[in-house]
A and B are shown apart, each in its own frame.
Chain A
Amino acid sequence: MRFLFKTDYEDDIRLFPHSGYVVSYGLLLAVLLIAPYVLSSYLMSQLVFVCIYATVGVALMILTGFTGQASLGHAAFLAIGAYTAAYLQKYNVPFPVYFLAAGVLTGCIGALVGFPALRLQGIYLVIATISFAFIVEEILARWESVTNGNEGLRIKAVSLLGVTVSRDSPTFYFLCLAVLVLTIVGTLNLLRSPTGRAFVAIRDSETAARSMGVNVALYKVKSFAISAAITGFAGVLFAHKLSFISPEMFTLQLSIEFIIVILIGGTFSLHGAVLGAIFIVMIDPFLTYLKDDMPGIIAGVAATFGAGAATVANIQSKVAAFASLNGLKGAIYGIIIMLFVLFEPLGIYGRWLKIKLFFQLFPLYKRATFKRQKIYVKSERNR
């Protein structure tokens, strides 16, 4: 086990605590850079979605994971970013300009949402953000001169420095990857700054933060604005990737998906946002695989165990019928969410930390290290 000796403040806030981090993240980046030349086009497309979802996940992590303000309205911010891009593109605004404009506009709207949210907490805040998202969805459907209503808007490919970047090209993937990496590095820097520490203080105890001199209202609004702005950037990429946007893409369902991203990844670390995004996006290819290949595989297993040909065919058709049931995806989603909340509340990244610690401390690992405290008193739960 490695022990880090921190002799001054700079050591404590270093981005890469030791050389191992540089090596492993460098390797990861190298793999991601050669990915488009190795993977199939379908997987590449999924990888672009992973980047976009992870960017939103990081944004939501700032708000929910680090400031402790739950939001079920992030699809609305994504929509505002996407529509700003589509609208400005019609007037031949260059990509870098509308990219920034989308982020700034979404950030301003996020701050506006943040103000009413100052007085709300817990379930009231969740409902307020859901209401906001509904209102935005309805505006998108009704403000036809700008959004083209329910017919939706087409959006042309990115044109960067005079080059047209199609949505399936490796260049577009690199663009998304760059946005994701910049977001993550920026967020890491934010979190080690006074602002980031104020966020975490507010999450842990608003009352304590206030008595330490943190301006709670200011930092909550800041957190909303930053989170919304990042989501707005992701929205531009989302619009370009889909090349067509309409109001029914940005429903509560999408907001819930974003919350699932950080929940499944682990709500206490940026790693969680990326892992959760991988999980959510890759569930689709996995289900397709389940639908296509599972019946054959299970039938094959049955045949090896000596089942007759008629039984095998029967099993195969039964499994195929089950795999192609309509609501299967929703049911699997539901089960996954419940299982994570019940058995792995720290998410995938939490599981990884547990496994790592288990091997580091090998015979001495205690389960209680990661045990969360239960609070049974009502007044303690309000903060």
Chain B
Amino acid sequence: MLDFVQQLVSGVALGCVYGLIALGFVLVYKATEVVNFAQGDLMMLGGFFAFTFIGMMGLNYWIGFAGAVAAMALFGMLAERIVVRPILGYPQFSIIMATIGLGYFLRSVAGMIWGTDDFKIETPFSQGVLRIGSLVLAHDKLSVIAATIILCTLLWLFFNKTTLGTAMRASSENMLAAYYMGIPVKRVVSIVWAISAAVATCAGVLLAPITFIHSNVGLVLGLKAFPAAVLGGFGSIPGAVVGGVLIGVIESMAGFYLAEGWKDVAPYLVLLAVLLLKPEGLFGLHARKKV
């Protein structure tokens, strides 16, 4: 039983990481219908920025964290301006390819700048553990769970309660109509990319104590976060986190209880099964084309 709970908690923590990355996908998708395959690489870059600020320049953890988030928000805007804006409105396939290209580029450039070693960031949560009875929970995992809950709530409130969030939803439905209603669509898209890059950075920094940062971490985790977003139904903020947690729990349970090899496959099998029964994901909305 104790093993089960322990696995459950570490699965939830891992799943929250996937959920955090998936939140970034979902944000961009919700506002612009763009699927950003480079999200994992934005996370990796955020982690490297934080490493540069904290590990190499010796700044305080929280200052370094804030600096990395700010730098990545700017970078997100820049990426949007150069790569995404010219192709907004074209078929999804073009944009998927463009972001795959962006991902390739970021991975290689990060590899050139920081090398291909593993890096670690010292955090205030790195050492401590929380004991409840005989259950041992590491602080770094708890920090991920807490951050996910906070970010998810904030983003949900932002999207559903603020004017800017409403503007984002409107521009997702119909960019042209939103533009006619006086919504500055270009700025809205820029802001959503900034937020999404900032969320990715949070994921990267919180992840750093659990899995180390290296130039391919974005690809590895991004490919797990994608099923998470799809499982939850692309375009739903709570769905992304629920999907992420499901994937994480399935992965850690399969790794513990099933034979070797199931760990990597189980999330995808579950994903395929869910897509067969509910093609729009667990929380997705099914939109139909009108003729």
Chain A residues engaging chain B, CB cutoff 8 angstroms: 64, 70, 116, 119-124, 126-128, 130-132, 134-135, 138, 141-142, 207-208, 211, 252, 256, 259-260, 263, 267, 325-331, 333-338, 341-342, 345, 372, 374-383
- Specify the chain A residue showing the minimal Cβ separation from B98: A341
Q: A338-B101, A376-B89, A376-B174 are in contact. Are A327 and B108 (CB under 8 A)?
A: yes
A256 to B222, CA, bound (A): 15
Q: A138-B264, A379-B288 are in contact. Are A123 and B96 (CB under 8 A)?
A: yes
The 10 closest A-B pairs by CB, nearest first: A334-B105, A337-B101, A327-B108, A374-B89, A334-B104, A330-B108, A131-B268, A331-B108, A376-B175, A327-B111
- Specify the chain B residue showing the minimal Cβ separation from A380: B289
- Specify the chain A residue showing the minimal Cβ separation from B96: A126
| Nearest chain B CB to A113 CB, angstrom units | 10
Chain B, range 134-187, C-beta contacts under 8 Å to A: 172-177
A326 to B107, CA, bound (A): 11
Q: Are B287 and A379 in contact (CB under 8 A)?
A: yes
Q: Are B287 and A116 in contact (CB under 8 A)?
A: no
Question: A123 — which chain B residues lie within 8 A by C-beta?
Answer: 35, 92, 96, 230, 234
Could you mark each residue 82-126 of chain B with 1 if its beta carbon is under 8 Å from any beta carbon of chain A, else 0? 010011111111111110111111111101100010000000000
Interface pick from B42-50, B69-77, B191-199, B269-277: B269-277
20 other contacts beyond A138-B265, A372-B90, with CB at 8 A cut-off? Answer: A116-B276, A127-B226, A127-B275, A135-B268, A135-B269, A138-B261, A208-B291, A211-B291, A256-B100, A326-B111, A326-B112, A327-B107, A333-B101, A334-B105, A336-B101, A376-B89, A376-B174, A378-B174, A379-B287, A382-B288
30 CB contacts below 8 A, A to B, read: A70-B93, A70-B96, A122-B92, A123-B92, A123-B230, A127-B230, A127-B275, A128-B271, A128-B272, A134-B264, A138-B264, A141-B261, A252-B223, A326-B116, A327-B111, A327-B112, A327-B215, A328-B108, A331-B105, A331-B109, A331-B112, A333-B101, A333-B108, A334-B102, A334-B106, A337-B104, A342-B86, A377-B174, A378-B287, A382-B287
- Specify the chain B residue showing the minimal Cβ separation from A335: B105
Could you mark each residue 230-273 of chain B with 1 if its beta carbon is under 8 Å from any beta carbon of chain A, else 0? 10001000000000000000000000000001001100110110
A259 to B96, CA, bound (A): 11
| Nearest chain A CB to B148 CB, angstrom units | 21
A272 to B284, CA, bound (A): 36
| Nearest chain A CB to B236 CB, angstrom units | 14
Could you mark each residue 278-291 of chain B with 1 if its beta carbon is under 8 Å from any beta carbon of chain A, else 0? 01110000011111
- Specify the chain A residue showing the minimal Cβ separation from B233: A124
Question: A127 — which chain B residues lie within 8 A by C-beta?
Answer: 226-227, 230, 271, 275
- Specify the chain A residue showing the minimal Cβ separation from B175: A376
Q: Are B101 and A334 in contact (CB under 8 A)?
A: yes
B33 within 8 A of A: yes
Question: A259 — which chain B residues lie within 8 A by C-beta?
Answer: 97
Chain B residues touching A, majority SS: helix
Chain B, range 201-229, C-beta contacts under 8 Å to A: 215, 223, 226-227
| Nearest chain A CB to B74 CB, angstrom units | 19
Question: A134 — which chain B residues lie within 8 A by C-beta?
Answer: 264-265, 268
A375 to B174, CA, bound (A): 9
Question: B261 — which chain A residues lie within 8 A by C-beta?
Answer: 138, 141-142
Q: Are B104 and A330 in contact (CB under 8 A)?
A: yes
Q: Are A345 and B94 in contact (CB under 8 A)?
A: yes
- Specify the chain B residue showing the minimal Cβ separation from A333: B104
| Nearest chain B CB to A181 CB, angstrom units | 28
| Nearest chain A CB to B33 CB, angstrom units | 6
Q: A331-B112, A334-B104 are in contact. Are A379 and B289 (CB under 8 A)?
A: yes
- Specify the chain A residue showing the minimal Cβ separation from B171: A376
Q: Which of A208, A336, A381 neighbours the largest number of chain B CB atoms within 10 Å of its CB?
A: A381
